[in-house]
Amino acid sequence: MSAASEGQAAGQPTWRWTRSTLTFVILVALLLVSLAVSVCVGRYAVPVDRAIAIIWQSLHDPTAMPEAIDERIVWLVRVPRVILAVVCGAGLAISGAALQGVFRNPLVSPQVLGISQGAAFGGALAISAGIWGFPLLALVFVFGLSALALVGAIARIDGRTQIVTVILSGMVVGALFSAFVSLLQYFADPNSSLPAIVYWLLGSFATATWERVLIATPGIVVGLIVLWSLRFRLNVLSLDEAEAKSLGARPDLERWLIFAMVALVVGAQVAVSGIVGWIGLVIPHACRLIVGHDHRKLLPASALLGAAYLVTIDTLARTLTAAEIPLGVLTAIVGAPVFALLIRQHYREKGAG
């Protein structure tokens, strides 16, 4: 709705108004359907009406400990897992969209810039030291942000930063932090901390609890709100430097604010569910095809579609077989071909235009 009214305020033609309203209605519906399906299916058979009744009942008294096994499975296993998937999916997708705007490059994602690897190192360090919960989140965030700062420092040559040097620096820093993670794994206790690190790096929502929801959600929600409130500035930042300055932007300050928010979102996500790739790359691209390049629409659309996508993928990961399918495997299997198609589509349109 808000995106729609902005469209009107910007004086866009009426048919665009209705079309983007319809788009957002569909995206919201997609998210709601994926949520509803996800809480109703699982390896433990709970009838749909029973699942809905359980959630309804628990919403009235959220702190009460449910007694029956189906109540506990729905309320203590599925619901927190679905919530985590929603906020992480939304956060990763909006981060990808914001970074791509800032760098004016559609190939940028938290992973390409080394943020994920830096965050992973922070987390692996915490696990090696036996630290969990909020301190782990803090370490993940600090290292995610320092990886990004390092990329910024390396890429800034003679006061200027070129996109290609940023991406190359990101790969360098990412490789460096990956090596640090390998080093930690080498020294980790193979019976306790090593499997914890390996499992956590693979990415999974299998260990979702309400506690983890409380750990991750505040950071991601703050990041989502700040990034969304910067949607106008992102439109300016995605112009070239001189143009942005002439429009009164302070590109450096705003860029760093966006970077910090991306590090916060990615850090919070990595802290609770390990590295989940591809979302920040594929979803913003898909959304650009649907709603165009305007960040006022792109950001909310990415958040909605990212949330729906990750919930769906995670539902598949936990229900297809008796064993959990690693999340990263599924996001890559779906993400890579879709991304390839999007690239072809993108450049074919460009060529035609």
Helices 115-128 & 251-273 angle (0-180, nearest 10): 40
Of 18, 192, 229, 246, the residue at the interface with other proteins (CB under 8 A) is 192
CA dihedral (306, 109, 258, 243) positive or negative: negative
- Residue 174 CA to residue 180 CA, distance in Å, equals 10
Q: What pairs with residue 157 in β-bridges?
A: 160
> Of the listed pieces 75-83, 84-92, 114-122, 255-263, which binds other proteins according to CB under 8 A?
75-83
Helix ranges restricted to H, the chain = 2-9, 14-40, 48-60, 69-72, 79-103, 115-128, 134-155, 163-187, 193-202, 210-229, 231-237, 241-246, 251-273, 279-291, 295-319, 327-352
Of 9, 164, 242, 322, the residue at the interface with other proteins (CB under 8 A) is 322
CB 315 within 8 A of CB 205: no
In the complex, the smallest distance separating the C-beta of residue 93 from other proteins, rounded to whole angstroms, is: 25
Q: What pairs with residue 160 in β-bridges?
A: 157
Of 13, 158, 160, 191, the residue at the interface with other proteins (CB under 8 A) is 191
> Of the listed pieces 71-79, 87-95, 166-174, 227-235, which binds other proteins according to CB under 8 A?
71-79
Of 47, 133, 135, 195, the residue at the interface with other proteins (CB under 8 A) is 195
Of 10, 44, 162, 253, the residue at the interface with other proteins (CB under 8 A) is 44
Per CB under 8 A, 207 contacts other proteins? yes
Per CB under 8 A, 133 contacts other proteins? no
CB 251 within 8 A of CB 237: yes
Task: Give whichever of 56 and 186 is closer to other proteins, judged by the CB atom.
Answer: 186
* Degrees to nearest 5, angle at CA 332 with 141 and 336: 115
DSSP string, 113-165: TTHHHHHHHHHHHHHHTT--SHHHHHHHHHHHHHHHHHHHHHHEETTEE-HHH
> Of the listed pieces 23-31, 74-82, 96-104, 159-167, which binds other proteins according to CB under 8 A?
74-82
Tokens 């309203």 sit on residue: 21
Of 45, 164, 242, 352, the residue at the interface with other proteins (CB under 8 A) is 45
Per CB under 8 A, 329 contacts other proteins? no
Per CB under 8 A, 172 contacts other proteins? no
For 32, other C-beta atoms within 10 Å of its C-beta total 11
Of 180, 200, 278, 309, the residue at the interface with other proteins (CB under 8 A) is 200
Per CB under 8 A, 63 contacts other proteins? no
Task: Give whichever of 6 and 70 is closer to other proteins, judged by the CB atom.
Answer: 70
- Which residues here bind other proteins, judged by CB under 8 A? 42-45, 65, 69, 72-73, 76-78, 186, 189-192, 194-196, 199-200, 204, 206-207, 318, 322-324, 326
